[in-house]
Amino acid sequence: MFNHTNPIIIGLIISALAAAAMSTLDSTYNSMATVATFDIYKRFIKTDAEDAHYESTARKMSLVAAASVVVPAILAVSNESVLKTIASLTSIFVGIRLGSFVLGIASKKANEKGIILGSIVSMVAVFAAKGMDIAWPWFAPIGTLVFLVVGLAASYKWGEVTPEQLDFIHKQKHLIAKPKASHYGLFVFAAFTVVICLYIPDWLGSVLL
């Protein structure tokens, strides 16, 4: 395709891809470094250091996070579709994220033990499905269903919800409140954008080519 496209269009596409990749990766690095520093290092290793020490540690953890993401990506380069590879990998964790949200919203009994056990069993189920050569689009539904069943059962049997957590759940009900007029405006804007995108490429191509 690039052999028959105006160089300006190629430059715009590459710039957009680079910007999207940078935006995604820096958020990933920051998230991984924050979790490693404050949830693990500060909590279990060095609990009484100054803030400057934790900031320095977080910067170093960002480099470790970058290496842990970039190096496996380079080693995993193959002739398969990039979209298929990314989707098959991310779908392993989609069930955990979606299941956590649904379980937290739908059940007042959901707790940490249920979430942890559900996450572990969900990942095992997805890897088992992968080993049985089940198509990757099924990973997310399988992971979500297993997470909900195991997480809910474990929450009822072993976990407990404190009054503080129940109060927090009650305060989150506004998240599923009835949409306002401005929210419907977003749908209108999205539809308008889709319609415009159907015509702009042809018009822009006829002007530049």
**2-56: pLDDT as tens digits:** 566 677 777 788 888 888 878 888 888 888 899 899 888 998 898 888 999 999 9
| Distance in angstroms (rounded) separating the CA atoms of residues 94 and 101 | 11
| Distance in angstroms (rounded) separating the CA atoms of residues 197 and 117 | 44
pLDDT band at 123 (very low <50, low <70, confident <90, very high): very high
Tokens at 165, concatenated: 């957590």
Does position 122 have pLDDT exceeding 70, yes or no?
Answer: yes
Q: What's residue 37's pLDDT?
A: 92
Cα angle 58, 62, 65; round to 5 = 130
Tokens at 42, concatenated: 């500060």
pLDDT band at 77 (very low <50, low <70, confident <90, very high): low
Ranges of H-type helices in 35-162: 51-75, 82-106, 112-131, 139-157
Residue 30's contacts (CB-CB under 8 Å, 6 or more residues apart) are 62
Q: Which residue matches tokens 């924050």?
A: 34
SS3 134: coil
Q: DSSP secondary-structure letter at 42?
A: I
Does position 208 have pLDDT exceeding 60, yes or no?
Answer: no
Residue 169's contacts (CB-CB under 8 Å, 6 or more residues apart) are 104, 108, 161
Stretch 96-112: mean pLDDT, rounded? 83
Residue with more model confidence, 22 or 78: 22
Residue with more model confidence, 208 or 13: 13
